[in-house]
Structure 1
Amino acid sequence: MTEVPAGVLPPWRRQRLLETAAREFAAAGYRQASLNRIIRACGMSKSSFYYYIPSKQQLFELVVDHLAGEFVRELRIPAPEDFAAEFWTSASRLLERLMALAEREPLFTDLGRMFYLPGAPAGSDTAVGTALAAAEGWLDRTLAAGRAAGAVRDDLPVELQRHVTFAVLRAFDEWTLRHYHEFAPEQAQRLVVAQLDTLRRMLAPGTDAG
């Protein structure tokens, strides 16, 4: 991942820059995001901004890397082995915490949208690529724990099962983020329940997805 020398910014200015940039990227998209708007909103001069962050790509990388770290800490994602005892109950609790966190901190919703922006840096050596690889690795181990506990079907190779499950979760995530503002809290909760039920019918042994 590209090294960004923004650590030398004063903490309060760095935080304001990250939050402002996240809103701009999420609202305007990667290509249309304006560094001038970000700079003005932060009360910085162009020379000061470019001294610390030379490009839009490096700003994007910094925002994703920093906010993804904050998101993981706030969400308190269980270790894969913690799913073994009550797999679907644990999955439900995690989704509930995810929705509560999105409701409490809109900045994380902006972060989520940044993962789906056309033209945004998304290769394996980028902040987005690193975060997605970590998520896939966690899902792989979680599914393995569920299979070992008998809570997840084992008639597919685990790698294929993870690939399909990750694709479905990303589809849920992208659609929900795009339409999040359209839902009242109780509607959002019903949507989470329906998504989890879809996953259960797809993954639990002895269920009929049709």
Structure 2
Amino acid sequence: MNQVTTTGQTVDKAIESALKELNTTRDYVEVKIIDEGKKGVFGIFGSRPAIVKVMLKIDPVEEAKQFLKDVCRQMDVDVTIHAERDGKRVFFSLSGENIGNIIGKRGKTLNALQTLTQIVLNHHSSQFLIAILDAENYRKRREESLIQLANHLARKVIREGKQISLEPMPSYERKIIHSALANEDRVTTYSVGTEPNRHLVIAPK
């Protein structure tokens, strides 16, 4: 039950009755006053009870977690999901067996699932939130491998004097390579193309 309509001698008493019925507190509901009621003469004649509609607030993080659980279940992957919110960023950490199915080749499945999770998250949120999805610390390992790749390719560009185009990758992965080579004064990096085929180029200065 997500909502109830209750009555009471006053609006506050009607809300109190609804909270008991929903087994929750004032912080987790939205209240719509249908009728403020009327006290009446001597509190009896012509009185009318207050009527309120009380609805449970939808937690966008919990809705996103449930979405992830449903998707993983359909993929026959048993996962444990830990969610942590830091301002506008919501981190979802997945762990369990066969987690590789969630990550996919070079993280493509994980990236797609992250995009869908963000859509679900913001569908239920009053402010824009950013979903960051990780599985068995894949993001950290991927960042380390991208930094190694960036340094290796930069040395090749310097040695051969020719630019190198990388495969298409998400914007945050391109940013990792941009940052890794930001202090290398012998090469420059830039992105070309349009999403989802936008890719990074490492070129000699």
TM-score clears 0.5: no
Structure number with bigger Rg? 2
TM superposition score normalised by structure 1: 0.29
Task: Return the structure number with greater strand share.
Answer: 2
TM superposition score normalised by structure 2: 0.30
Task: Return the structure number with greater helix share.
Answer: 1
